[in-house]
Chain A
């Protein structure tokens, strides 16, 4: 069974520091990787996605893929209290409509 695993946290990071979130996936055929942010009581929103061909940087966010070890990371630089949320990792195969979801990591940015 295809799985995506995340440490549930909470991960506590001081304001201004780098927050590093990881998820591992079981299916070597996975082609695209997504990070969603979910504030308490709200629906998930897509913040980053990468394909198997490379990493991506967008503002304070960087998504990195390690195919050999089958994990994907999300780095948040200059962490802000507004970054406090649960971060969901999701993985997809090109041949499949469905995303396989991790359970999420709760991130707390301490002022």
Chain B
């Protein structure tokens, strides 16, 4: 069976500090991978998606970036965090050609 791992679960970072969130998928190959952000009481905002190694599409211009160094690894990064980067970050995967998503457990980021 397929599983998705996302860490850390909670993170408190000062403004201006760097960020690295990691997500890995097990039990499948060549998945579509996604990073979403959910502000408190709000809907899901797609940040990045990837259909293959090194292929990243950005949906929202901002100070975040994403990378996919391996088939089942997706990383969200920032060089300098802003207060507005606070939120619940969710990684998700889906099969190529299929459309249902499975989410990781999420990372709650608070920038102080």
Bound pair (A, B): yes
Q: Select the stretch in A13-21, A56-64, A69-77, A93-101 that faces chain B.
A: A93-101
On chain B, the number of residues with a Cβ less than 8 Å from chain A's Cβ atoms is 18
Chain A residue nearest to B90 (CB atoms) is: A43
Which of B44, B94, B102, B103 contacts A97, CB < 8 Å?
Answer: B94
Give the size range of A's interface with the partner: 20 to 34
Q: Which residues of A contact B46 (CB under 8 A)?
A: 98
Q: A43-B105, A43-B106 are in contact. Are A97 and B43 (CB under 8 A)?
A: no
Chain B residue nearest to A44 (CB atoms) is: B103
Q: Which residues of B contact A101 (CB under 8 A)?
A: 43-44
Taking the closest CB of chain B, its distance from the CB of A94, in whole angstroms, is: 8
**Do the beta carbons of B101 and A99 come within 8 Å of each other?**
yes
Chain B contact residues, CB within 8 Å of chain A: 32, 42-44, 46, 49, 51, 90, 94, 99-106, 108
